[in-house]
Structure 1
Amino acid sequence: MLDKQQLLALVDKHQDELVALCADLLRIPSENPEGDTRQITSFIVEYLKKNGIESTVYESDKHRFNIVASIGKSGGKKLIYCGHSDTVPVGDFDKWSFPPFSGDIKDGYLLGRGASDMKAGLAGLIFTMVLLKRYEIPLPGELTLAVVPDEESGGEYGVPWLLENKLIEGDGCLIAEPSSELNPTIGQKGSCWFTLTVNGVPAHGSLAPFVGTNAIIDAIRAIERIRTVTDIELSPPEELTQLLSVSNRYLVENERAVTTGIFEKITCNIGTIEGGTSANVVPDSCEVAVDCRLPFGTTYDDTMAYIHRELEQLGIDYQIKPFGFKSSANYTPADDPICRAVVDNISAVLGKEAYGVLQWACSDARHFREHDIPVLQYGPAELETIHGIDEKVQVSNVINCAKVYVLTAVDFLDVK
């Protein structure tokens, strides 16, 4: 059995292969909500096969493919390495300073849509499995790679589909979602997305506001009430005091002090507004898309009940329809074996103190916790570029994360 230094040396020896794999993934468009992952799925399956690893592909929805592959010894502990192959859309190509699907390297950064979220992390997971297989590193348990196609638009056809169909199982899970180098995310806020449709009565615009009912005006009133969710005072469970404290410490240490307290408050974003047909027609409909993120101390149902109570006071004609992400806040204890294995190996690789924190967004991690699988997230990222223009990731970060993945797999599966 190779010791840790020898394993790290193997990653260094093959780092060019890792970077090339990441670049190849970046060159394959896999934008969601379009959700077509045929090309990237074929590439990953072929790459695994070329390296002696057979995989099974499951089409959960048209052109959305899940990949499952395993190495190691059955009958022992089970570890899942999970990553999503889809990305958010590029948006306006003209705003990018480089081609979004270039996969080029410049000034020590890999460039392209999905570089940080999360094709670099996905490449690290695939590379880890290939390296362990190639050098026949003995694993006393089973390492399963799950590549899912549908995280960026709610995840219905990815992780939850695999779990509900009992196609993957584990004693722990690592998702290569973007994080800071020293701070994997061991918990996350919940999510509450919905569309608000406000109905009005059309009339000639020259007669407003004497006749008709303006749906846009009523929607503005509704938005003002909805946004008061941020003012709700909440009391998180006492057992989360330490996790909240270190998470707020993380914000300060990473120059995000302006967001201190975000883990204790409901946030509310008014994402889109659509309504009306013409300037001279009183609008009879207005639709608003809302994204609320929920801290510990409240639930999805609690939040929606509050919003309905507020809107009922306005006397408007409205409907609310949930969509996308829906969950309450969730976490994995910091002393869980999977958390300890990842955090300890981050410290070993980087030579600095690592600790787990909360995530202000949400991800596929919630599905694993719903199925009683401890999970955390750790992946390479240039956090400021995620979902934005000119997305990129530092090459050294990609390599260091891969080192953590290799060591974590060996450590976690070896612990009785």
Structure 2
Amino acid sequence: MIDWPALHREALDIFVRYLQIDTSNPPGNEKPAARFLGALLEAEGIETEYIETAPNREVMVARLHGDGSKRALMLCNHTDVVPVEAQYWDMPAFEGVVKDGRVYGRGAIDMKGTGVMQLIAFLLLKRQGMALRRDVVFCAVPDEEAGSALGMQWLCEHRPDLVDVEFELSEGGTGASRFAGKQVQLFNVATNEKYASGGLKLTAVGTPGHGSRPHADNSAIHLMRALIKLHDWDRGITYTPDTVAYLERLAEAGLMPPLADKAAVEEQIRRSPALYAAFVNTLNVTMVNSGIKINVIPARSQAFLDCRLLPGQDPEAWRQQVIDFIDDDRIQVEFARQTSGRLPKPAEWDTELFWTINAVIKEAMEDAVVVPAMTVGATDNRFLRDRGIPAYGFIPCLLSSEEAAGFHGNNEFLTVENLNMGCELMYEVVRRMCV
């Protein structure tokens, strides 16, 4: 028997201390987080390995050995978090404040909370002396928030032995407590994701001049007109095999109109930014740079746009669409940074792992709806899917809309209730897969 109240207290203590480690990326500095997690495992007699990918950047890997009758399951999480604009937070971002049933801190949702859920499942298997059919690998990686070149991508390229697994669980799919205005228990298991194209850099060149005179060739004005035009661009709704399957399952559960009623379906899609993102190439202005002095009209102005492309979209064709839509020779459009160029591959969802997740959640919550889904952001799963591994995004919590807004947002938090739920569901999924 598991003393879950005691485990919940242990998980909360670990979670709070983990959130207190500032692993903002850039610069990263994830080594203290890797050592923190590793020390918890070493204290239980579990051998751990620390792999340096750059100064103060480490991967931490541990393994529980099975009898080899089935191939390994990996529990993967990233230790880095996005930076904080502290002046916009009501709580300190790196103190792990617990207040009113919430645990505040950068990384609470993305993804130190899930890392703790995986850790508790891993520790429980060891403490209970379970006879495992397959190895269970716990892997904490750096650099996910900056593209994974020093994290999962590095691991796949330099230590392929560690990612030689049958299945993997990481971030990407979450549960939701509300959908389309209804109270629900909806769990998304992410089997695919959009392509982070590297973003776009727009450069406008004009004629510099004195700020005291009327001026018709201001690079900042050219750039702003292009940005407003792109912001107002209605690119319609694009259906992919993943999103069609998603809509069909939601319709079966009574959460969406039937696909035959296209107008009603698209009206509901457009009402939710989170849902709409799965049906369109997204484009958002994130940085704008212009000018050198208040009385000098800028010769050059630049803007950076975050772009996430739907599966099957060609990045170069997308760049050309943007150029054609702006239709202004004074605006140069190029990719903001280089990417691997490898488009994400979907993972098969009709697998032992998916149906185990489905069974565990259905037994815990009779009215729950479990669906394969697509992540609108980039995750480390893409590197494993590229190797043919069913890598799923699975955060076993029912997030409120306020909680879900914490992804890269201010006042990020996870409720204690969700932390407890996540620990129990994660453990049961892993136990059934491996024991």
Superposed pair shares fold, TM > 0.5: yes
Cα distance change of structure 1 residues 244 and 365 upon mapping to structure 2, 3 Å threshold: farther
Q: Partner of 2:381 in structure 1?
A: 365
* SS, match of residue 32 in structure 1: coil
For 1:247 and 1:257, the matched residues in 2 are separated by: 16
Cα distance change of structure 1 residues 255 and 14 upon mapping to structure 2, 3 Å threshold: farther
Contact 2:319/2:333 (8 A) holds in 1: no
Superposed, which structure 2 residues align to 1:49-128 within 5 Å? 49-73=42-66, 75=68, 76-92=70-86, 94-128=87-121
1:263-311 per-position Cα deviation (integer Å, ceiling 9, x unaligned): 2222211111111122332211112110122224523333123224445
Q: Partner of 2:196 in structure 1?
A: 191
For 2:276 and 2:163, the matched residues in 1 are separated by: 36
Of 293, 297, 316, the match for 1:278: 293
Contact 2:290/2:301 (8 A) holds in 1: yes
Question: 1:410 and 2:431 equivalent?
Answer: yes
Alpha-carbon offset, residue 84 of structure 1: 0.8
In terms of mean alpha carbon deviation, does 364-373 or 302-311 score higher?
Answer: 302-311
Alpha-carbon offset, residue 256 of structure 1: 9.2
For 1:247 and 1:158, the matched residues in 2 are separated by: 35
TM-score normalised by length of structure 2: 0.83
Cα distance change of structure 1 residues 256 and 114 upon mapping to structure 2, 3 Å threshold: farther
For 2:222 and 2:374, the matched residues in 1 are separated by: 36
Q: Partner of 1:378 in structure 2?
A: 394
In terms of mean alpha carbon deviation, does 192-201 or 107-116 score higher?
Answer: 192-201
Question: 1:315 and 2:321 equivalent?
Answer: no
In terms of mean alpha carbon deviation, does 125-134 or 182-191 score higher?
Answer: 182-191
Alpha-carbon offset, residue 106 of structure 1: 1.9
TM-score normalised by length of structure 1: 0.87
Contact 2:171/2:379 (8 A) holds in 1: no
Q: Partner of 1:203 in structure 2?
A: 209
Q: Partner of 1:169 in structure 2?
A: 164
Cα distance change of structure 1 residues 399 and 161 upon mapping to structure 2, 3 Å threshold: same
For 1:28 and 1:324, the matched residues in 2 are separated by: 30
* SS, match of residue 231 in structure 1: coil
Cα distance change of structure 1 residues 250 and 113 upon mapping to structure 2, 3 Å threshold: farther
**How many equivalent residue pairs?**
402
For 2:353 and 2:320, the matched residues in 1 are separated by: 36
Alpha-carbon offset, residue 23 of structure 1: 1.2
Superposed, which structure 2 residues align to 1:4-403 within 5 Å? 6=1, 9-73=2-66, 75=68, 76-92=70-86, 94-165=87-158, 166=160, 167-177=162-172, 179-180=174-175, 182-186=186-190, 187-192=192-197, 193-209=199-215, 213-224=217-228, 226-227=230-231, 230-231=234-235, 234-237=238-241, 240-246=243-249, 257-259=271-273, 260-296=275-311, 298-310=313-325, 313-316=327-330, 318-323=332-337, 328=343, 330-356=345-371, 357-379=373-395, 380=397, 382-403=403-424
For 1:314 and 1:134, the matched residues in 2 are separated by: 65
Cα distance change of structure 1 residues 151 and 101 upon mapping to structure 2, 3 Å threshold: same
Contact 2:125/2:431 (8 A) holds in 1: no
Give the letter for the 1:242 counterpart: A
Contact 1:178/1:378 (8 A) holds in 2: yes
Alpha-carbon offset, residue 35 of structure 1: 0.7
1:363-416 per-position Cα deviation (integer Å, ceiling 9, x unaligned): 2222221121111112245212222222111112112212222222222235xx
For 1:27 and 1:157, the matched residues in 2 are separated by: 22
Q: Partner of 2:261 in structure 1?
A: none
Cα distance change of structure 1 residues 14 and 250 upon mapping to structure 2, 3 Å threshold: farther
Cα distance change of structure 1 residues 264 and 377 upon mapping to structure 2, 3 Å threshold: same
Contact 1:338/1:375 (8 A) holds in 2: no
* SS, match of residue 14 in structure 1: helix
* SS, match of residue 274 in structure 1: strand
In terms of mean alpha carbon deviation, does 252-261 or 166-175 score higher?
Answer: 252-261
For 2:171 and 2:230, the matched residues in 1 are separated by: 34
Contact 2:247/2:256 (8 A) holds in 1: no
In terms of mean alpha carbon deviation, does 327-336 or 136-145 score higher?
Answer: 327-336
- Structure 2: give runs of 5+ residues left out of the alignment: 177-185, 258-267
1:299-342 per-position Cα deviation (integer Å, ceiling 9, x unaligned): 3333123224445x422252523338777565333322222222
* SS, match of residue 272 in structure 2: helix
Contact 2:319/2:334 (8 A) holds in 1: no
RMSD, aligned CA: 2.9
In terms of mean alpha carbon deviation, does 185-194 or 218-227 score higher?
Answer: 218-227
* SS, match of residue 184 in structure 1: strand
